[in-house]
Structure 1
């Protein structure tokens, strides 16, 4: 520090005799002298010792940078924001997505490839967004109609069987021990146990308790999308279960004969008509004991 101070005073011709003698005896004096000779033509302003000393010391050692407190909070907030974005991205892409249709409701939504899905009442679908275009696979509980965008193989997995397509329109229903698949466009491959069936436009297959039934379908889309519940050789308990889902009600059955099979349609938006059809078909009497409970008794 003393050497730097002497240098500054010497450049300003402000050394005492003793200081000058000491400075001239230093090993670097000759070098400083040559520098001064080359810069004699420059005009040097009034010396501020403190400022000059401060500038010299800055070149030797950088002053620690102090971050204001408010900037620390800004950095912290930014870090939290980035973390939130990463968490949201991971949740939306890696965590399985779930779509549901509650009793009495239908849900329509799009998959990542813009394939369209309509869920029937009391149904659920699970899938992952991540790498969807390369792995178009989902799990279905209940019933759904699919309008699949063209692309790689598209798979619908249920507890009873699997449906595989490339790009088409079809309906899948898996309720209890009954598995129904209808193809409305293109081709659909159905796997049930050890059986594999290929369906084309207008074809349908049903598996129940291991038995297979093939049918021809004339409609352009599932009847339930037009608020009509369609049944083919189904027992009364299955019919009442579907009525419960469509109307979001509870039904109690007090009848011995539950073996007779029903084929036909029941409205999904007119409960009184639906109850009358069931009454007539099975010789029952429906009683509304509350707004959301029905009891069927034998006549």
Structure 2
């Protein structure tokens, strides 16, 4: 670094006499002299500013192609979003939709054609929204009341039987091997096994273990459970207890024996204590409350 500094001062004639004498004594001074001599003889070509400007102006312009860095990225994002929306639409419409009513509650909802459905406690319906107007078919577990909008054939499928209508109001109940259909308006076709029934307003059909059970003609406009009443036709005590559990969302432990009596009648269901009192009086049971939601039923 110091040698370069000395060389620079020498080339610019900035050395003192003492520094010059010391620098000339350097072994490389002869080389420095030759470099200085030859470099001074070099000539730099004259720079014609006007000529250079004219050349720049008159030279043909090449089209500059600009490719945005984010273009491909944005296209990919848009494609992913489009595919995602398509998959979501397909899933929502083609996949089965489920409506459920938990114990102690009822669920009211509308189907895609504005048919109205009320699910009773502990019941479930599955259906597909896709092409619903041309394929009005659903699966039911439990009990539901339907107000069907007019249109093409409407089917309710259960594990015991099938109900087919065009436009009407009816109730379907399926609990285990029990199957019950009541018509409140219009006409209903009921199939189970090799049997077929045509029901009109006020008519009902019930099946237990593959055998029909006589049900009197109904004059009411909707099922009793919508009016907070539980109606039983030749029901066993365990079946009634199970219905109590669903309706009131409580646990009943049945420790009674010798109660093979079948019950037919109506029990008000607005208050669990009143309903239990009627049930216990009928079957000579004694209720013992263990917790707020658990009750043991024993022989009185």
- With normalisation by structure 1, the TM-score equals 0.78
Residue 110 (structure 2) aligns with: 110
Change (3 A) 1:290 1:194: same
Structure with larger Rg: 2
Give how far 1:292 is off: 1.4
Map of 1:165 onto structure 2: 165
Alignment map for 1:260-279 (pairs within 5 Å): 260-279=261-280
Alignment partner, residue 140 of structure 1: 140
How many equivalent residue pairs?
A: 248
Residues 133-170 of structure 1: CA deviation (Å, up to 9, x unaligned): 11100000000000000110000000000000000000
CA distance in 1 between counterparts of 2:96 and 2:223 reads 27
Instruction: Report the alpha carbon displacement of residue 84 of structure 1 after superposing the two structures with TM.
Output: 3.0
Residue 52 to residue 229, structure 1, CA distance change in 2 (3 Å): farther
Partner of 2:204: 204
The within-5 A match list for 1:146-295 is 146-215=146-215, 216-295=217-296
Q: What TM-score do you get using the length of structure 2 for normalisation?
A: 0.78
Q: Helix, strand or coil: the match of 2:105?
A: coil
Q: 2-side partners of 1:192 and 1:117: how far apart?
A: 22
Q: In the superposition, relative to structure 1, how do residues 264 and 86 fare at CA in structure 2: closer, same or farther (>3 Å)?
A: same
Q: CA deviation at 1:119?
A: 0.3
Question: What do residues 233-258 of structure 1 show as CA deviations (whole Å, max 9, x unaligned)?
Answer: 11111100000001111111011123
Q: Distance in 2 between matches of 1:274 and 1:234?
A: 16
Pair 52,253 (structure 1): closer, same or farther in 2 beyond 3 Å? farther
Q: Closer, same or farther in 2 for the Cα pair 1:49/1:82, shift >3 Å?
A: farther
Q: Which has the larger displacement, 138-147 or 268-277?
A: 268-277
Equivalent-residue separation in structure 1 for 2:283 and 2:54 (angstroms)? 111
Look up the SS of the partner of 2:290 in the other structure: strand
1:87 aligned partner:
87
CA distance in 2 between counterparts of 1:127 and 1:68 reads 47
1:52 to partner: Cα distance: 5.1
User: SS where residue 190 of structure 2 aligns?
Assistant: strand
Q: 1:66 to 1:261 in 2, by over 3 A?
A: same
CA RMSD between the two structures? 1.8
2:131 matched residue in structure 1: 131
C-alpha distance in 1 between matches for 2:285 and 2:72: 75
Partner of 1:290: helix, strand, or coil?
coil
CA distance, structure 2, for counterparts of residue 218 and residue 274 of structure 1: 24
* CA–CA separation in structure 1 for the residues paired with 2:290 and 2:156: 40
1:8-19 alignment to 2 at 5 Å?
Answer: none
- Unaligned residue ranges in structure 2 (runs of 5+): 1-52
| CA distance in structure 2 between the aligned counterparts of 1:68 and 1:48, rounded to whole angstroms | 35
Deviation of 1:54 (Å): 5.0
Shift of the 90–255 alpha-carbon distance from structure 1 to 2, 3 Å rule, reads same
Does the C-alpha gap of structure 1 residues 67 and 283 become closer, same or farther in structure 2, counting only changes over 3 Å?
Answer: same
CA contact (8 A) 1:203 1:214 kept: no
Deviation (angstroms), 1:76: 4.3
Distance in 1 of aligned mates of 2:261 and 2:237: 7
